[in-house]
Amino acid sequence: MSAVKSAEMRKTMEWEDNVRRVVPYVAGEQPKGENIIKLNTNECPYPPAPGVARLAAELDCSALRLYPDSGAAPLAEALAAYYGVKKEQVFVGVGSDDVLALAFLTFFNSGRPILFPDVTYSFYDVWAELYRIPYRTCGLDENWHIRPGDYRQPNGGVIFPNPNAPTGLLEGTETVEEIVRANREVIVIVDEAYIDFGGVSAIPLLKKYENLMIVQTFSKSRALAGLRVGFAIGNEKLIRYLNDVKFSFNSYTMNLPAQILGAEAVQDDAYFKEVRDKIVATRERAKKTLSELGFTFPDSSANFIFASHKTVPAREIFEKLRERDIYVRYWDKPRIGNSLRISVGTDAQMDALTAALGEILEGK
C-alpha cells in the first residue's frame, strides 16, 4: 500500500492533530417566513426606539471612510451617563457574547476551575472549552435557585446570569452580594442580560467590590439584537485589563453605525420603559393562561417563561408547535429536557400560542 493511501486511511490527517477542536454553541433557529411566530431566542417583539430609525436614515456614509472610535466612545459615554458611572468603567462589545468571551480570556487564568450553575446559559461551558479553562458546575436547588454556599469552594472565578437563563428566576441582591463577598480573590461576573424585565441590577455593589463585573446587552430589552451591542461595567482597573486584551485581539470591533444607533437607544428612556412595561404585562398575562393550560414554571423575572406541562412531554409540544410555525426553545438535556423556554412576544402572538396549545393539549 502506498504511503499516500495509508495516510488517507488514517482516521484524521496529521495536520488535524493540531487543530483547536470545539463543539460550538448552538443558537436558537432563525426560521424565515411571513407568518412565523418566533418565540425561541428572547428577542424583543417591538422595534427599537424611533430615533434609531431616524438616525439610520440620516447616516453620513462618507464617515465610514475612517476607522470608528476603537473604544466606542459615543456609546460608552451614553451608558456611563445612564448608569451613573465613569466612562472608564464601561466596556462596550459586539453583543454581550463578545464581552463575555473577552472576559473569560482576560480574567479566568488561574488554572483553578471556574464555577457556574448546572442549568444556565449554554455558552459558558463552550467558552471554557475553547480557552481550555477548567470549570465545575454547581447544582441549582429543587426550585431552580442558586445555592450561594456552593460558591464558597476554591475556584478560579464565578459567572452566573441574574435572572438566570433558561429558568427566568431572579436572585436577590443579598444572594449576589454573598457570592461576590465570598470570592474577593477572583472575578465574579454577573450576566444581567434580562435584568431590565424585573430585577434590580448589582451595579451599586461596584462601589464596594473590586472583583465584580456586570454584563448587559441591547439584544433583549432594547430591541437591538441585530445591531450587536453589549457592555460591561466594572471598576476602572478591571475595565482597563479588558480593553488591553480587546486591543490585542481586534481594535475596531464595533462599527460606527452601531455606536451611533446604540447611543440613541440609550437616550430614549421613555420608549425603553414603555416597551419593557408592555412585555412585563404580557408576561404576567401569559403566566395565567399557561397555568390554566396545565403548565408549571419558575416565576419568571425575564422576557421568557420556562414551562413544563403536567402530562404532555415538552418535546411533543415543541414539535407540534413547530408544525404550526410557532417556534419555542427546547433542549434535550439532563434536568431541562421536559421544559420549553417560551419568549414573551406581543399579546397577539401569545394569544396565537395559547390557541395552538389549546388544540395540542385537548383531551390530554
Closest residue to ligand PLP, judged by C-beta, is 95
- Closest approach, Cβ 334 to ligand PLP, in A, equals 19
Q: Which stretch binds ligand PLP (CB under 6 A): 1-9, 92-100, 105-113, 244-252?
A: 92-100
Strand partners for 214: 190, 233
Q: What is the DSSP pairing of strand 37-38 with strand 114-117?
A: unpaired
Residue whose grid cell is 431590565: 196
What are the CA-CA distances from residue 312 to residues 292, 320, 363 (Å)? Answer: 14, 11, 11
Q: Give the interface segment with ligand PLP, choosing from 91-99, 173-181, 255-263, 325-333 (CB under 6 A).
A: 91-99
Beta strands in 60-162 (DSSP E): 90-93, 114-117, 135-138, 158-161
Q: How many CA atoms lie within 13 A of 246 on its CB side?
A: 25
Query: Which residue number, 94 or 312, has a Cβ lying nearer to ligand PLP?
Result: 94
Q: Which helix (H) or strand (E) holds 216?
A: strand 212-217
Q: How far is the CB of 273 from ligand PLP (least distance, A)?
A: 20
Question: In the set 171, 191, 196, 264, which binds ligand PLP (CB under 6 A)?
Answer: 191
Q: Which of 161, 168, 198, 298 binds ligand PLP (CB under 6 A)?
A: 161
- Nearer to ligand PLP by Cβ, of 223 and 260: the residue is 223
Is residue 219 close enough to count as binding ligand PLP by CB under 6 A? yes
- CA 171, 115, 208 angle in degrees (round to 5)? 55
Residue 121 CB, shortest distance to ligand PLP, in Å, is: 4
Q: Is 199 in the site for ligand PLP (CB under 6 A)?
A: no
Cell of 361: 393539549
Alpha carbons 82 and 196: distance in angstroms, whole number = 13
Residue whose CB is less far from ligand PLP, 216 or 235: 216
Q: Decide whether 217 or 282 has the Cβ nearer to ligand PLP.
A: 217
- Residue 20 vs residues 17, 24, 26, 209, 324: alpha-carbon distances, Å: 9, 12, 18, 36, 40
Go through the chain and tell me how many residues it has.
364
Query: Judged by CB under 6 A, which of 92, 126, 193, 203 binds ligand PLP?
Result: 193
**Among positions 217, 221, 300, 349, the unique one binding ligand PLP when judged by CB under 6 A:** 217
The CA distance from 76 to 72, in Å, is 6
State which of positions 101-160 bind ligand PLP (CB under 6 A): 121
- The C-alpha atoms of residue 67 and residue 74 are separated, in whole angstroms, by 14
Tell me: does residue 73 bind ligand PLP (CB under 6 A). no
95 binds ligand PLP (CB under 6 A): yes
Closest CA relative to residue 326, chosen from 351, 302, 305: 351
Q: Which stretch binds ligand PLP (CB under 6 A): 11-19, 94-102, 199-207, 292-300?
A: 94-102
Q: How far is the CB of 221 from ligand PLP (least distance, A)?
A: 11
Which one of 165, 256, 312, 314 is in contact with ligand PLP (CB under 6 A)? 165
Mode of pairing for the β-strands spanning 295-296 and 158-161: unpaired
Name the residues that contact ligand PLP, by CB under 6 A: 95-97, 121, 161, 165, 191, 193, 217, 219, 225, 230
